[in-house]
Structure 1
Amino acid sequence: MSLEVIHLTKKFGEQTALNDINISIKKNEIIGLLGPNGAGKSTLMKSIVGVLKIDEGEIHFNGKNITQNETETKKNIGFLPENNPLYLEMYVKEYLQFIANIHKIPASRVDEVIELVGITPEKSKKIGQLSKGYKQRVGLAQAILHQPDLLILDEPTNGLDPNQILEIRNVIREIGQEKTVILSTHIMQEVEALCSRVILIHQGTILQDSPIDAFKGKYESLEEAFASYTS
């Protein structure tokens, strides 16, 4: 797996959301994507997965330009956006089977993923009946169903209770042993628990891209380091 973001710039009218972003990822790891609200994190993630059109620069995934190989790229990337769009009137297993059919995946993989993310007791319920925690699990299940090389998660534990957070983290940790995960979060304990590398974006520019220990550096905590870098 390799991902290269090369001189990526994205503007919305007069506002520059991303300014000359360069990132290189070449191995399986869990990367924490950090930044204040409005820093450009979601814009970067949506650019990588092909939701947003690239204005300037290039993104290469597994050696291929994602703009020129859009369908092939999307087959190998899983994405859980922050708002987790789901079909609330569909039943859990029905929805995941629908996603599997799009990817031409055998039904056995649906049962495997249902077990992996811990939604077996809920698989016959309508998605709209689920708690937020279980909806997040369904969203995570659709993102990993096709066994992508790269998994991008935007605030995956947002709004979950402490037990649900630990369970989702365990799933992410297990996936990160075989796949590359880019994880956007404001929860520093999550970064410390899961990530080996941190990319910090502020005002559309990368301020830090380093192993987690180097990011923390002289500071007593990740929160303190984050506040210092972005103040």
Structure 2
Amino acid sequence: MYHNGKKQQIVSDNPELLLCENGDFKIKADLVEQYEIIDMHCHIFRGLSQLFPSFLQKQKFNKNISLMDMSCFPFSLGLFDLNKIYFTKCPTQLLSVDGIKTRIKLFSGALVLNYATVDRLMMDMEANYIQRAVVQQINPPNKSCAEVMNNIVKNNDRLYTFGSIHPFDDNILAKIDNYMKMDIKGWKLNPHIWGVPIDCDESIGLLKELAKTKLPIMNCSGIGLPKEMLNSAFPTKKTRK
């Protein structure tokens, strides 16, 4: 059940928005229906499943739930703010009521990914007049969802995908060659998820090889958690004068 009162207030304050029956927000049709919109960066569970142990790799579908409510971002409607990064007022102290709730939501919020099926993506695209979407892949070292994602985009002319190769993978050249035989439109790097610096030797070497394919390369930048939370969890040590 979503917090109808709070969401209705958000809709009232932002006249471009409406509420779906399941509690997710959507944009008003007259603002976007004349455009051909392509979502360049979205995810479905099949493109992320290799990040999880096999017993968690089970998809779920429920069109009546709000994925926004289940997601770890925003942490809560009480902290929701469309003008903030992550659309949320990040708690500045982890050892606080909001901070503890946020940490719980960060861990439990990943469970929403199981509901990110192709059918749910298409339903949400229809609600917001999105014609096409690029479903990105994230693969851990020496694992791959390439074949599964290739089959998905081959069977849906509204979806595209980028290939994902980890900088520490074995046989990188062979993996690039295998991807090039598939229907990919580019490459995606996720250093903040992998925990790998984008300027380390392995990342630079991978980038050089990917550049030879002449396909576009998209790279996540920034941090995977709010700066306020990182500063609170890992405070900078002050140097003595």
**Considering the TM-score relative to the shorter chain, is it more than 0.5?**
no
* TM-score of the pair, normalised by structure 1: 0.30
Q: Which has the higher strand share?
A: 1
* TM-score of the pair, normalised by structure 2: 0.29
State the structure with bigger RCO (CA 8 A, min sep 6), 1 or 2: 1
